[in-house]
């Protein structure tokens, strides 16, 4: 059994998510982190168990069938004096809104890019969310042991797509189309395997200190060394040198090169996570800035996971601790319901496995049973009325109209869907003209999961129909008359979400742009705070 080691220091906690386009190497990299933290004793163990408990969860039937992870898992990794809370996000094509919300519960992100593919679609979308929250980003360019894009072209693409400055910390040594290792730009050190290139399997890596070290001649031909020095000079000229405050502000990303599979370059990356990446600092609430070192406990719910334990059909609320300390037996105040309670079982996680804990600190993710009274966005404190900013619903990308074989089940369907929407598994919009129920999701797989859960958990047999919606926008205005006028004209395109917020269902992007230009006094938002 894995031991859950809790260190109490806030400054030695690192809470982050690894994000990437599917197949960029997120799971392989996570495995290396688990290995570094002695969570697994042998590399390759995760890959062998990938469809089991360590990296990809297998909580849902759909996941089992497809061998994929549909939800985010949380992994706590003790490393020397540090405690790393890693929030793993689903890597398949059909990831969900859950992934977006995880980004509200982390202090920084690690982005994995496939060196041969550059910035892919999913990464672009995730970057736009991290930008919304000004989250610092560390970039790891993976799969250097294989052929890759031109490195400067790749960094230029990153700068454009991320809209931030790239600062290479390591630079790849590619000799005769082989990846030999990296040159560390800050340390002025070469890390490589002198015998064979890293494309071959070898775990012995050597170091040579200094770009001008004569020892390099024993490894590479003189011509290559001269060219590489020129290359480094150019890289120093083109790209900004690392500046920690710009990184923490989210305007600069340090870039590392390596190979997760060959376990090369991971140590440099890991060091940067420990030394540069921010520990938990604060979170803005509606009333004040809540600092991590405050004495009193506060935390918010960013995720609700159903069916972690299929035998008990339980729902677990995941809470990111913002301040104070959680102590076993303490009274927690549920701000929305204004009720105090003592949670008998509080967990920490390693993917699908959970452990009962007695203490937890800012940056940690804890979980407790949710008996249908906890919602995403809820706050727990020791009594203070706090509500944290930034825990949002996101405009879905795809929509379905849901109907029933048996219309008498409408109430039951609504109840089931509301519960599923409260978990953040799907979004429901109810047309204001005809009460029709429209479901919205970020990935198609969410619809399959909902159908399956309606059947298994609620005994409801529903059908999906296509519906012509491009996107939704939550609408607000300081001038209520404008909303009244808008409602009269566009009632057919209006619906309410689960919390009765008014949304505009745009059939096309052209229509949306037209409407936005026609109604300058109305704000059309693509997110909505819980």
Interface with ligand G4P (CB under 6 A): 20, 22-28, 47, 91, 142-143, 145-146, 259-262
Q: Which is nearer to ligand G4P, 91 or 362 (CB)?
A: 91
Cβ distance to ligand G4P smaller for residue 144 or 225: 144
Phi-psi label, residue 282: left if phi above 0, alpha if psi -120 to 50, beta otherwise: beta
- Burial classification of residue 70, based on how many CB atoms lie within 10 Å of its CB (0-12 exposed, 13-18 middle, 19 or more buried): buried
Nearer to ligand G4P, 101 or 262 (CB): 262
Asked if residue 427 lies in contact with residue 498, where contact means CB atoms within 8 angstroms, the answer is yes
Do 257 and 250 touch, CB atoms closer than 8 A?
no
For 152-193, give the DSSP string: HHHHHHHHHHHTSEEEESEEEEEETTEEEEEEETTTTEEEE-
**How far apart are CB 260 and ligand G4P at their closest, in Å?**
4
Whole-angstrom distance, CA of residue 111 vs CA of residue 319 = 23
CA gyration radius, the chain: 25
C-beta closer to ligand G4P: residue 262 or 473: 262
Tokens 């105090």 appear where?
A: 340
CB of 145 to ligand G4P, least distance (A): 5
Residue 169 CA to residue 187 CA, distance in Å, equals 9
Q: Which two tokens stand for residue 33?
A: 């982190």
| Longest distance between any two alpha carbons in the chain, whole Å | 83
Gap between the Cα atoms of 296 and 315, Å rounded? 26
Q: Are 26 and 99 in contact (CB under 8 A)?
A: no
Cβ-based nearer residue to ligand G4P, 20 or 379: 20
Dist. CA 208–CA 183, nearest whole Å? 9
The nearest distance, CB 47 to ligand G4P, in angstroms, is 5
The residue (of 23 and 382) whose beta carbon lies closer to ligand G4P is: 23
In the DSSP assignment, the letter for residue 292 is T
For the chain, give percent helix, strand, coil, nearest 5.
Answer: 25, 30, 40
Least Å from the CB of residue 34 to ligand G4P: 12
In the bound state with ligand G4P, the residue whose beta carbon lies nearer, of 20 and 392, is 20
If the CB atoms of residues 91 and 299 are measured against ligand G4P, the closer one turns out to be: 91
Instruction: Quote the least distance from Cβ 69 to ligand G4P, whole Å.
Output: 9
Return d(Cα 113, Cα 102) in angstroms, integer: 19
Please return the burial class of 291, using the count of CB atoms within 10 Å of its CB with bins 0-12, 13-18 and 19+. Answer: middle
- 145/364 with CB nearer ligand G4P: 145
């Amino acid at each position: 059994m894995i031991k859950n080691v809790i260190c109490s220091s806030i400054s030695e906690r690192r809470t982050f998510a690894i994000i990437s386009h599917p197949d960029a190497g997120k799971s392989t990299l996570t495995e290396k982190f688990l290995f570094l933290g002695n969570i697994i004793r042998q590399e390759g163990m995760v890959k062998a168990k990938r469809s089991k408990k360590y990296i990809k969860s297998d909580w849902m039937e759909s996941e089992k069938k497809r061998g994929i992870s549909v939800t985010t898992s949380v992994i706590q990794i003790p490393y020397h004096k540090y405690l790393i809370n890693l929030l793993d996000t689903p890597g398949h094509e059909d990831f969900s809104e859950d992934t977006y919300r995880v980004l509200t519960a982390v202090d920084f992100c690690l982005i994995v890019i496939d060196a041969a593919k550059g910035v892919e679609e999913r990464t672009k979308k995730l970057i736009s969310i991290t930008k919304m929250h000004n989250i610092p980003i560390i970039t790891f360019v993976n799969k250097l042991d294989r052929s890759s894009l031109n490195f400067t072209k790749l960094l230029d693409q990153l700068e454009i797509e991320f809209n931030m400055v790239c600062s290479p910390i390591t630079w790849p040594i590619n000799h005769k189309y082989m990846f030999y290792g990296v040159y560390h730009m800050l340390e002025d050190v070469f890390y490589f395997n002198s015998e064979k290139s890293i494309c071959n399997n070898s775990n012995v890596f050597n170091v040579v200190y200094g770009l001008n070290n004569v020892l390099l001649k024993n490894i590479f031909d003189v011509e290559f060394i001269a060219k590489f020095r020129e290359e480094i000079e150019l890289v120093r000229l083109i790209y900004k040198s690392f500046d920690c405050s710009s990184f923490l502000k989210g305007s600069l990303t340090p870039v590392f090169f390596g190979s997760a599979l060959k376990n090369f370059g991971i140590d440099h990356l890991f060091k940067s996570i420990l030394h540069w990446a921010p520990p938990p600092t604060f979170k803005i609430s509606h009333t004040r800035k809540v600092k991590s070192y405050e004495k009193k406990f506060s935390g918010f719910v960013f995720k609700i996971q159903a069916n972690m334990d299929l035998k008990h059909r339980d729902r677990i609320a995941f809470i990111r601790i913002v301040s104070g300390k959680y102590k076993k037996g303490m009274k927690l105040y549920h701000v929305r319901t204004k009720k105090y309670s003592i949670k008998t079982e509080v967990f920490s996680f390693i993917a699908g496995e959970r452990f009962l804990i007695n203490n937890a600190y800012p940056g940690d993710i804890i979980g407790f049973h949710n008996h249908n009274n906890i919602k995403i966005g809820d706050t727990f404190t020791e009594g203070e009325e706090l509500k944290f900013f930034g825990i949002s619903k996101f405009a879905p990308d795809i929509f379905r109209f849901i109907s029933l074989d048996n219309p008498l089940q409408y109430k039951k369907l609504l109840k089931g869907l509301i519960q599923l929407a409260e978990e953040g598994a799907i979004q429901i919009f109810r047309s204001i003209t005809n009460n029709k129920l429209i479901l919205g999701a970020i990935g198609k797989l969410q619809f399959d999961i909902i159908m399956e859960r309606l059947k298994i958990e609620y005994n409801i047999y529903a059908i999906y129909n296509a519906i012509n919606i491009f996107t939704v926008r939550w609408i607000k205005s300081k001038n209520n008359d404008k909303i009244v006028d808008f409602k009269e004209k566009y009632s057919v395109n209006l619906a309410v979400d689960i919390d009765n917020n008014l949304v505009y269902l745009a059939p096309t992007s052209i229509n949306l742009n037209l409407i936005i230009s026609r109604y300058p006094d109305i704000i059309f938002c693509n997110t909505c705070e819980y």
